[in-house]
Amino acid sequence: MIFDSLKTGILSGELKPRTRLLISEVAVRHQVSEIPVREALQALVQEGLVSSTGSGFEITPLSKQDIREIWQIRISLECLAARLAVQNISNKQIDMLEEMIDQARPYVETGNLDAYWKENRKFHLKIYELGENGRLLHMLNDLYDFSRRYPSWYTKQEELENSVREHKEILEAFRKRDEQLVVELIHTHTMDSYQHVLRRMNEQKLYDNS
């Protein structure tokens, strides 16, 4: 419970980078002893979300190195998952993905950036689920969670419309069962999101000099 609560707070941005986490304060807030708090914090250290400072713990800062590592792994794994999906996908599943694109349209029309980001995540993870590799899907879920710490790459309606267009291109490649094209489109799509995040981090000066 403590682990999940802290992790959710960190990933959502409610708990800011460099925030000190005092074991005694966390224990009082959750009405538990300090032992499970210490265990939860150590687990978060293992996940790279919290750092041990010697005198306590703090939430790790955002960094270019971290986002580079996350997206390098994401790009490789998403291309692999997309390749597996091409080998397994049915026409019915392609139609289902098209319905997901249509369901996201109201968010595009209203410029609801956050809601569209969530629909974008569902769309991609549904594709990767069709690859029928549970371990791979679990890793991608975790990477998408870690990506939440960083700025959304959607900042205006034009970017939402471009995302929908790219989703449709990906879907058309699936209909053709063109494995190479699907992988190329996924690679470009994910690389674009990486560049958007880096640009927003630079604009907002959100990162440490690392």
pLDDT for residue 207 is more than 70:
no
> What's the pLDDT band for 129 if we cut at 50, 70, 90?
very high
Task: State the average pLDDT over residues 124-144.
Answer: 96
Per-residue pLDDT tens for 77-86?
A: 999 999 999 9
Given this model, what pLDDT does residue 182 score? Answer: 98
At 145, is the pLDDT very low, low, confident or very high (cuts 50, 70, 90)? Answer: confident
Q: What pairs with residue 182 in β-bridges?
A: none
pLDDT given at position 125: 96
- Model pLDDT for residues 4-57, shown as the tens digit of each residue: 999 988 887 788 888 999 999 999 999 999 999 999 999 999 988 999 987 789
What token pair was written down for 13?
A: 């941005």
What pLDDT, on a 0 to 100 scale, did the predictor assign at position 198?
87
